Amino acid sequence: EDWHNFQNFAEWAYKKPQAWFMEGESIWELDKDSLVEGNKVYRADRCTFLPPELNTFFSDSTWSKDTPRGVNYIKPASDNSKEGWIARCNMNGERKYLGYFNDPMEAFYKYKEVKESYAEVLAEKYKGRIEDDVYLRLRNFKVYPYPPTEDSEVKS
């Protein structure tokens, strides 16, 4: 609500040193989900500026009630095609294939291993340039297979 007035937003952004950072040719982006996972509201206490690589990291995989996070079901395209589950994760600006699995939770655990490990790499890469809360979230990053219930709030 406060940011419906652009001057309020501009005053907040001007105080953020990250608002003026650049990574290569990319200007850092306004992010709403790095401080509170699943946040849908743009407001001062829940937003920050991030390099595109981190913004993508935090928005990598959507929650689903049917499939664990980071996992997709592969339907057979023909009678001889495989049926199963694949895990994928955004890394270094690319969607990386992590493998084919017969069980969705097997695929999830591979995704979880890679995603949490990559969070540590990103934390160190951007240490001192991102806000301390974002750095700590990356250092303590945990991936859960399914979305939180309406009564709970998952923080990774």
Buried/exposed 29-52: b ≥16 CB within 10 Å, e otherwise: bebbebbbbeeeeeeeeebbbbbe
20 has pLDDT over 80 = no
pTM score = 0.82
| 86: amino acid identity, one letter | I
Mean predicted confidence (pLDDT) in 81-88: 88
Confidence bin at 63 (pLDDT 50/70/90): low
pLDDT at position 5 is: 92
Residue 155 banded pLDDT, cuts 50, 70, 90: very low
